Every structure is written in structure tokens, then in C-alpha cells.
Amino acid sequence: MKDMGESKPTISSVPASLPKARAGTLFEVLRQELKLRNYSHKTISAYQSCILKFVRYYSPKHPRNLSNDEIREFLIHLVRDEHWEASSENQMFSALRFLYVELYKMPFVIGNIPRPKRPRKLPDILTKEEVKRLIKVVSNPKHRMVLMIAYSAGLRIGEVTRLRVEDIDGERKMIHILGAKGKKDRYTMLSERVVAELSNYLSVFKPAKYLFHGDHDGKPYSQSSIEKIFHKAVENAGITKPVTFHTLRHSFATHLLEQGVDLRYIQELLGHASSETTEIYTHVSAKNIAAIRSPLDNLDL
């Protein structure tokens, strides 16, 4: 898959064949419209990179003057020649849809182009024993707390970095997640074991604003630092599965399902807009699969 963040959409990076004033206006308007619709900084950056690649491909032609067939050919080129995966091509499609439908008001241009079908890939899951090993090999109390709170509450890495001290409600045993994916707030559970270790963590590290602060005052712990903590722990725990920090969230959901927690509650805890997203965990739950008797076992051999 190509890295869609390889070139930042700046006016100076647009080829000389495309007038800089026109390119500058395009990206200026695009950025403003995305901000007005409350898109996240990450999505704005991704859309800008996508549109820049598209503009470069057909430069010096203006995107307004491109046909349905030309847009389709560009998307085919990404898969056939640059070997983009469906997830990346879908992001490009979303960026182009925003450009034509929202900005140019030309839904007919892109309306007949089908979206790429995403392959259904089941997530890798850590067993409870593997999670236990993962946490036990971490001696640094701050690093340990990062892993514990992420797994115990099913948090995304960005949610961990943005956690503030006041978001932790020890009395109600809840964590308030602000501005999660899709700009939605939610509450999730606060583990009793986390509560037991949290007071010691707070007294030692004395976080002022963010629960996990970075090297500079007022700044949260970086996602890259947290990823390094996780992968070092995975290595030290002898775990060979192809896992990422997000695997802790997948494992949290799967383990709750195996404990008999209703899928609707898991959906709320994870902050999924659709139950279909949460249902993927029914396909990786060892309890659900193990409860099914193989037809071979019914044969008198």
C-alpha cells in the first residue's frame, strides 16, 4: 500500500504546470470546508494528500473538467499500477466524493463509480494469559498503567493520549472519553485493579492536565512513545502474533463477549456507531466457536 501521507499538500509542492494560485485556492477552500464540517485534523490531512495526488496525476487539467471515465481510470491506476489496498482506495474515493459532491456540487460525475469492496479481515486477539504476561513484564509504573488502562477500558491509542486526570471518575468506576472517533463522547468502564494502582501512579508522577503527560509541560504522551512501550512489552513477553496497540482494544471486546456480556453493551463501551462493527468479535470469540460441536464428533467411527 502506498503511503498517502508521502507529500503534504502545500502550494510549493504542486507541479509548475499547474498554476500555483489555482492550486492554492483549491486546497485553501478544501481545508476550510472540511473544518466547517468539523472533520478531524487527521482526516483533513489525509483528504488533502489524496486530492493533491489526484491533481498531480491529471495536471494541468482542472478537476472540474474531468469526466467520470477519467476519475474511474485514476482509481483503477491506483490498484493496478500502484497496488493500493481497498482501505486506501476507499479513502481516496471519499476525498474525491467530498471534492465533487460537497465542493463542486457535481454528484453526477462520481455517482456511478462503485466503491472498492473492503476485504473482511478478522483481528488478531491476545488471550487473557498473553495480556497478563504483557503487563507483568513492564516494570515502569507509567508504562504499566498505559497498558492496563488501554486494555481494561478498550481505548484507542488516541483516546489514551488525550485522557485528562478529571476524566477518571473513581467513585462511579467510569472513564469519560471526550471527542472520540466521529467527535462523539462516551463513558466506558474503570477497572477496579486500575483504581487500586492509580493512586500510587498519581502520587509518583503528579500529572497536572493529561493523565499521561509527555516530556514537555502541558503536552500529552505521544502515540509513537506508547507504541514503542507496547511493542517492547510484546517482545519481552515472548508474544509472536502480528499485533498492534489496537489489539488491546480488540482483545478487551472479545474477552467481554466470552464473559457473556451482551453485544449491545460492548458496542456502547467501544463507541461503535453500528452494531455491525461490533459483531466482528463474534467471529473471533473462542467461547462461541468452541461451543459448536463438530459434525465429526457425532460420527461413530
Q: Which of 162, 250, 255, 272 is catalytic?
A: 272
Q: Which of 47, 100, 201, 281 is catalytic?
A: 281
Q: Is 241 a catalytic residue?
A: no
Q: Which of 144, 156, 162, 255 is catalytic?
A: 156
Please report how the helices 41-58 and 86-97 are oriented relative to each other, as an axis angle in degrees rounded to 10.
90
Name the residue among 199, 211, 201 with its Cα closest to residue 159.
211
Contact 158, 244 (CB under 8 A): no
Residues facing 188 on adjacent strands: 175
Q: Is 210 a catalytic residue?
A: no
Residues facing 176 on adjacent strands: 187
pLDDT tens for 244-301 read 999 999 999 999 988 888 888 899 899 888 887 888 888 777 666 666 565 545 666 6
Q: What is the DSSP letter of 176?
A: E
Q: Is 293 a catalytic residue?
A: no
Is residue 103 over pLDDT 70?
Answer: yes
C-alpha cell at 240: 509472536
> What's the rounded Cα separation, in Å, for the pair 62 and 18?
9
Domains and CATH numbers, the chain: 11-110 (1.10.150.130), 128-290 (1.10.443.10)
Report which of residues 116 and 94 the model is more confident about: 94
pLDDT of residue 287: 65
Is residue 14 over pLDDT 60?
Answer: no
Q: Is 133 a catalytic residue?
A: no
Strand segments, DSSP code E, in the chain are 168-169, 174-180, 184-189
pLDDT of residue 230: 97
pLDDT band for 11, please (50, 70, 90 cuts): very low
Which of 71-80, 111-120, 242-251 comes out lowest in average pLDDT? 111-120
Which of 108-112, 188-192, 292-296 comes out lowest in average pLDDT? 292-296
> What's the rounded Cα separation, in Å, for the pair 197 and 26?
52
pLDDT tens for 23-63 read 558 888 888 999 888 888 888 999 999 999 999 999 889 89
Q: Which residue has the cell 498519581?
A: 202
pLDDT tens for 159-182 read 999 999 999 998 888 999 987 776
Q: Which of 176, 181, 186, 231 is catalytic?
A: 181
Name the residue among 272, 238, 15 with its Cα closest to residue 137.
238
Distances (CA, A) of 296 to 29, 240, 289, 301: 63, 31, 15, 9
Mean pLDDT of 102-130: 82
Name 2's Cβ contacts closer than 8 Å, sequence gap at least 6: 78, 82, 83, 84, 88
Is residue 125 over pLDDT 70?
Answer: yes
pLDDT of residue 51: 94
pTM above 0.95, yes or no: no
Is residue 241 over pLDDT 50?
Answer: yes
Write the burial class of residue 293 (CB in 10 Å: 0-12 exposed, 13-18 middle, 19+ buried). Answer: exposed
pLDDT of residue 21: 44
Q: Is 181 a catalytic residue?
A: yes
- Contacts of residues 107-112 at CB distance under 8 Å and 24 or more positions apart, as own/partner, are 108/68, 109/66, 109/67, 109/68, 109/71, 110/68, 110/71, 112/68
The tally of CA atoms less than 13 A away on the side-chain side of residue 67 is 3
- Percent of the chain whose predicted confidence (pLDDT) is above 90: 41
Contact 61, 23 (CB under 8 A): no
Is residue 18 over pLDDT 60?
Answer: no
Q: Is 47 a catalytic residue?
A: no
Write the burial class of residue 83 (CB in 10 Å: 0-12 exposed, 13-18 middle, 19+ buried). Answer: exposed
User: Average pLDDT, whole number, for the chain?
Assistant: 84
pLDDT of residue 232: 97
C-alpha cell at 56: 498531480
